[in-house]
Chain A
Amino acid sequence: MKIDCSGMYYRKLNKIIRDAAEAGESEFILDHVNGQRYIGSGINKKIKITINGVPGNDLAMFMNGPLITVNANAQDGIANTMNAGEIIVHGDAGDVIGYGMRGGKIYIKGNVGYRTGIHMKEYKKQVPVIVAGGVACDFCAEYMAGGILVLLGLEKEGDMPITGDYLGTGMHGGVVYIRGGVDENMLGKEVSVLELDEKDMKLLKKHLAEFCEHFGFDLEEAMSKPFVKLLPVSSRPYGNLYAY
């Protein structure tokens, strides 16, 4: 199903998608999207949505299944509290990506904003994954409680840092992989930097292969620099704040 979204209000657009998905439609191509919110939100079916244009905030919020491809930049709040599905962004993404995300994958070709992967969590087989090809801003992986977050910094300019400040602050679960190392001054108090073991490499390679396939990057090159991994120092970062 092809929809021309120029000038279309989000409520109408999302209703068309919901109703058509309910009726069995499995593939949507949305043209001239610009700023419409909540695309893919709360949809529980494995439909495919291709977005041509910049989608509005809260793309794929509470999403549970669909595959979304964005052929532009994406705004703030992608994959908010998402349960399952996949999002591929052929551009940059805004702030607060994957907040409380519990499952599914996000691949972003370019940079990501502030608070990426904040409070991401995992549950049993649901392990959320975010891979960003560019750099991240401050508070990346803040409060992270589970899942996998990969930062590649592939096209960063000069000595630009790959992450912002307070990386992994309050992190108490999950893992962050960073290509080419990280400035220790940027780290939150609750994380430590470790080398990757074989299991890590296997996991990383799997996700990078997928990332490279989506965006036409060379896997060899992506893996050419050594990675470091960030793990929480403790699963109980705030255990000793109280006098009982």
Chain B
Amino acid sequence: MISEIPPEFIVKIDYEQCKRCKRCVMNCSFGCMQFKDRVIPDHKKCVACQRCVTFCPESAITITKNELSYKENANWTPEIRQNILKQAETGGMILSGMGNPRAYQILWDHLLIDACQVTNPSIDPLREPMELRTFIGRKPERLEFSADENSEIELATELGPQIKLDIPVVFAAMSYGAISFNAHKALVMAAKQSGTLMNTGEGGLHKDLYSYADNIIVQVASGRFGVHSEYLNTCVMVEIKIGQGAKPGIGGHLPGEKVGEEISKTRMIPVGTDAISPAPHHDIYSIEDLSQLIYAIKETTDYTKPVSVKISAVHNVAAIASGIVRAGADIVTIDGFRGGTGAAPMVIRDNVGIPIEVALAAVDQRLRDEGIRNNASILCAGGIRTSADMAKAIALGADAVVIGTAALVAMGCRVCQKCYTGNCAWGIATQKPELVRRLDPLVASERLSNLLRAWDLELKEILGSLGVNSIESLRGSRERLRGIGLDEMTLKILGVKPAGVGQ
């Protein structure tokens, strides 16, 4: 069938400037640029990944939206019409990558942070101590002490395993398969450099990265790819992935063409076969089954690793999180509906789930109401873009935040949302050796470490202005947040007063 879909973008080349160096042709991984005595773009193939724009030495390329490719209509938007055309041509589901791009209200941008003036002093974070150290893991309700024969007081309570983070940010679960080996390596190197953690995602851990065990969260998902007892012990924390914010209740699917030799080794499946992750874990159809799996992992790791359970933010998230904590999880990771993905049916990504802000607030409050907040740490994922989002999340009750898309952007991602094609021009979401090579793990890890350092500085500034010098004093302190432009019910769920109301 001949495609009738008009191009989404127009690639303009300033032939006056163009020196015909063909760098754009070499850099375009989507086959848009061709050279026939001069560069001829095939507009239909452009995804606006900006690779050619970035690498054109003459700045001769601009990409614009194909404005009137569809006649204006507020109801039948270009996107809707384009998708219908695609479906009419193929009969398939629309696939997309990255997080929900729609203009839903972003609650972070309706929350404002407090500061000290006169009655209490702010603190200068550059010169005075400012602590961000965070421990992730189950804490007991209370401590018990005993005295030995010399009346020396000794701690009688034995705490379960706790993970130390130098900054309350960890990298999100992104599998080797969804992203490249170089991207995985950059993440783990940056995690080590910055005193935090990366998460393997569900595709196993490449043997070359086993030496970074102290900075790794290994994930167990429904496909169980590359999961064995050695893997479970090569980490500081094990995460059971139940759901992902971008596609709650939906499985995953790594197409066979991405399963090359190295991925095959890591996932322990033959080269070229599809790696299908079923929607549910087939040993978890109920909460007591989750408990059974949590303890299976604890048995296998001899109770040395805290176990996290990651769920997507859905309507009943508070009750579910409570059940997860009672099932024995040491950490609950909640992924909001703006969370990213390598590939998801667009209909799910854009329409299922709830925002992380309300989910986080509801979970934190529920665990407090039930007196079990100390029993687990909360990691907050799915839509953390800035250090401000991070500070607000921690104030709402998160122990730490999780960043995926922000980390990818730091490595060079331009959020073109074509991750699922495997053609990532930036060497991140691809397995093609010639593209993977474009991402230097050393450079990428430095960019990641820089991002974390910048957020570290910014978070300390925020703490200083709040007049506190330790992250514990922000954690769950909703009193230091105010809402603007939010309805009463949303404010109630967030547990935040409207701006203008004092204490």
Chain A directly contacts chain B within the complex, with at least one CB pair under 8 Å: yes
Contact across chains for A244 and B95 when beta carbons are under 8 A apart: yes
| Set of chain A residues within 8 Å of B229, measured between Cβ atoms | 42, 44, 62, 64, 83
Q: A81-B224, A83-B229, A115-B282 are in contact. Are A145 and B273 (CB under 8 A)?
A: yes
Q: Which of B254-274 contact A (CB under 8 A)?
A: 255-256, 264, 268-270, 272-274
Contact across chains for A121 and B269 when beta carbons are under 8 A apart: yes
| Set of chain B residues within 8 Å of A41, measured between Cβ atoms | 296, 299-300
- Chain B, residue nearest A41 (CB): B299
A interface secondary structure, majority: loop
Contact across chains for B283 and A96 when beta carbons are under 8 A apart: yes
Contact across chains for A240 and B92 when beta carbons are under 8 A apart: yes
A37 at the B interface (CB under 8 A): yes
Bound CA span A221–B86, Å: 57
Chain A interface residue bracket vs B: 35 or more
| Set of chain A residues within 8 Å of B302, measured between Cβ atoms | 18
Bound CA span A159–B8, Å: 60
Contact across chains for A243 and B95 when beta carbons are under 8 A apart: yes
Please report the total number of B residues contacting A with Cβ < 8 Å.
42
B232 at the A interface (CB under 8 A): yes
| Set of chain A residues within 8 Å of B283, measured between Cβ atoms | 58, 77, 80, 96, 99
| Set of chain B residues within 8 Å of A202, measured between Cβ atoms | none
| Set of chain A residues within 8 Å of B222, measured between Cβ atoms | 119
| Set of chain B residues within 8 Å of A18, measured between Cβ atoms | 302
Q: Which of B218-272 contact A (CB under 8 A)?
A: 222-224, 227-230, 232, 253, 255-256, 264, 268-270, 272
Contact with A along B455-495 (1 / 0, CB 8 A): 00000000000000000000000000000000000000000
Q: A37-B292, A41-B296, A243-B90 are in contact. Are A172 and B276 (CB under 8 A)?
A: yes
Contact across chains for B299 and A241 when beta carbons are under 8 A apart: no
A133 at the B interface (CB under 8 A): no
| Set of chain B residues within 8 Å of A240, measured between Cβ atoms | 92
Q: Which of B369-390 contact A (CB under 8 A)?
A: none
A-B pairs under 8 A by CB, number: 126
Contact across chains for A62 and B228 when beta carbons are under 8 A apart: yes
Contact with A along B298-335 (1 / 0, CB 8 A): 01111000000000000000000000000000000000
CB distance from A103 to the nearest CB of B (A): 9
Contact across chains for A61 and B91 when beta carbons are under 8 A apart: no
| Set of chain A residues within 8 Å of B230, measured between Cβ atoms | 44
Contact with B along A227-244 (1 / 0, CB 8 A): 000000001111111111
Contact across chains for A62 and B282 when beta carbons are under 8 A apart: no
Contact across chains for A143 and B269 when beta carbons are under 8 A apart: no
| Set of chain A residues within 8 Å of B282, measured between Cβ atoms | 96, 99, 115, 118-119, 142
Contact with B along A14-50 (1 / 0, CB 8 A): 1000100000000000000000011001101000000
Q: A37-B292, A38-B295, A80-B296 are in contact. Are A121 and B268 (CB under 8 A)?
A: yes
Q: Which of B89-111 contact A (CB under 8 A)?
A: 89-95
CB distance from A39 to the nearest CB of B (A): 10
Among the listed A61, A96, A173, A244, which residue makes an inter-chain contact with B296, where contact means beta carbons less than 8 Å apart?
A61
CB distance from A44 to the nearest CB of B (A): 6
Bound CA span A100–B225, Å: 8
Contact across chains for B232 and A42 when beta carbons are under 8 A apart: yes
Q: A37-B292, A42-B232 are in contact. Are A170 and B276 (CB under 8 A)?
A: yes
| Set of chain A residues within 8 Å of B278, measured between Cβ atoms | 119, 143
| Set of chain B residues within 8 Å of A123, measured between Cβ atoms | 264, 268-270
Bound CA span A143–B137, Å: 35
| Set of chain B residues within 8 Å of A126, measured between Cβ atoms | 268
Bound CA span A217–B94, Å: 53
Contact across chains for B256 and A236 when beta carbons are under 8 A apart: yes
Q: A100-B227, A146-B269 are in contact. Are A38 and B296 (CB under 8 A)?
A: yes
B34 at the A interface (CB under 8 A): no
B146 at the A interface (CB under 8 A): no
A122 at the B interface (CB under 8 A): yes
Among the listed A118, A170, A172, A244, which residue makes an inter-chain contact with B273, where contact means beta carbons less than 8 Å apart?
A172
Contact across chains for A14 and B299 when beta carbons are under 8 A apart: yes
| Set of chain A residues within 8 Å of B86, measured between Cβ atoms | 243-244
Q: Can you report 26 A-B residue pairs in the complex whose CB atoms are below 8 A from each other?
A: A11-B299, A37-B295, A38-B295, A41-B300, A42-B296, A58-B293, A61-B296, A61-B299, A62-B229, A62-B300, A81-B224, A81-B227, A115-B282, A119-B224, A121-B268, A126-B268, A142-B282, A145-B273, A146-B269, A173-B270, A173-B273, A238-B274, A239-B255, A242-B94, A242-B95, A243-B91
Q: Give A residues with C-beta under 8 Å from B.
A: 11, 14, 18, 37-38, 41-42, 44, 57-58, 61-62, 64, 77, 80-81, 83, 96, 99-100, 102, 115, 118-119, 121-124, 126, 142-143, 145-146, 170, 172-173, 235-244
Instruction: Give 8 new A-B contacts, CB below 8 A, not counting A146-B270, A173-B273, A243-B92.
Output: A42-B300, A62-B300, A81-B227, A83-B229, A236-B255, A238-B274, A242-B93, A242-B345
